[in-house]
Structure 1
Amino acid sequence: MNNDRTLSKDSTIYNYRLLRRVHHKAVHHYAYWLLTVLAWIYALLHIELLSFAVVLFGIPLVHAVFLHTLHRTKEGQAPKAWRWSFRMPWFGYTPGNYIALAKVLRLHNQLFWIVLLILACFYPWLSTDVLLFAMFYHVWLLLPRLMIIFIFRKYKSSGLLKINPHDTSCYTQ
């Protein structure tokens, strides 16, 4: 038996150095979900069930379509390693592999402002309660992500973001 382990000349070795890690604490998740449940109860009391359902499922879908479209227009190809995540703080359509922090910041900054502008365009046709709930839900989905990106802001130029189930890490090569 030959246990000789050699690398071929075509092998690529990636060496990443951890710059900073943000742990996802359960107490933050519970507080965030408590705020969410209270907002949903308020919304259910003030808007129709159909409007509530459309906002609840429509905003994450708009985020996913918008991120996919932005990535496709900027990169020339569809995002390959993006997936749906149902864990906070990365609830929604998120990168599954290492991704440049500058790219994530650019995508989420554009996502934040453009979706707010799109929602504002619906002002004449939506009731104020539905519009405010849609804006709240949009900000609710993005705020934890933007806070983590803000924590990593000084590594924007060379940082690589890696999202794990229990933490989000920033690495450099």
Structure 2
Amino acid sequence: MTVNHLRKRWRFQFQYPWIGYLPDQYMGYMIFRRVLLHTTWIGLCFTAVLFMWLPVSFSASLIVWHLWLCIPRLMILLRLTRQRKDGMLKLSKEDVSYYIS
């Protein structure tokens, strides 16, 4: 699984809890972590920029919805903090599998 011959396909998924841009197959833990943290910060910065032009209640609801959609992924990061960083993740509807390579 660690060989680069696997085609890395990413797509936008609409099935809860994995709503957003995610890979179809196995991915490295560090890549998952980096992508998740970047998308979380980009979403929060985008909302902060729009905060000047939007009503406060709408901006607050954007932040809450953004964090609500990121919470399942952030829970994975919290659960895997003490694991080895060179592992592989596989996300499915039912579970998250973590494999040590």
TM-score (norm 1): 0.51
Of 118, 133, 155, the match for 2:61: 133
Alignment correspondent of 1:97: 25
Q: Distance in 1 between matches of 2:60 and 2:84?
A: 32
Alignment correspondent of 1:150: 78
Structure number with greater Rg is 1
Structure 1 stretches (4+) deviating beyond 4 angstroms?
Answer: none
Give the structure with the higher percent strand. 2
Give the structure with the higher percent helix. 1
**Unmatched tracts of structure 1, length 5 or more:** 1-13, 16-78
SS of the residue corresponding to residue 18 of structure 2 reads coil
Q: Is the 8 A contact 2:8 2:25 kept in 1?
A: no
Alignment correspondent of 1:87: 15
Q: 1:139 Cα shift?
A: 0.5
Against the structure 1 CA distance between its residues 89 and 156, is the aligned structure 2 distance closer, same or farther, given a 3 Å change threshold? farther
Could you give the per-residue CA deviations for residues 86-138 of structure 1, whole angstroms, max 9, x where no partner exists? 22221222111111111111111121122211211112210011101111111
Could you give the per-residue CA deviations for residues 42-87 of structure 1, whole angstroms, max 9, x where no partner exists? xxxxxxxxxxxxxxxxxxxxxxxxxxxxxxxxxxxxx941123222
Q: Distance in 2 between matches of 1:137 and 1:92?
A: 13
Q: How many residues align?
A: 97
Q: Is the 8 A contact 2:88 2:100 kept in 1?
A: yes
Higher relative contact order (CA 8 A, sep 6+): 1
State the superposition RMSD in angstroms: 2.0
Alignment correspondent of 2:98: 170
SS of the residue corresponding to residue 92 of structure 1 reads strand
Q: Distance in 2 between matches of 1:84 and 1:113?
A: 18
Q: Is the 8 A contact 1:102 1:156 kept in 2?
A: no
| 1:1-173 to 2 correspondences below 5 Å | 14=1, 80-173=8-101
Q: Which amino acid aligns with 1:106?
A: R
Identity %: 32
Q: Distance in 1 between matches of 2:51 and 2:34?
A: 26
Q: Distance in 2 between matches of 1:130 and 1:140?
A: 15
Q: Which amino acid aligns with 1:112?
A: T
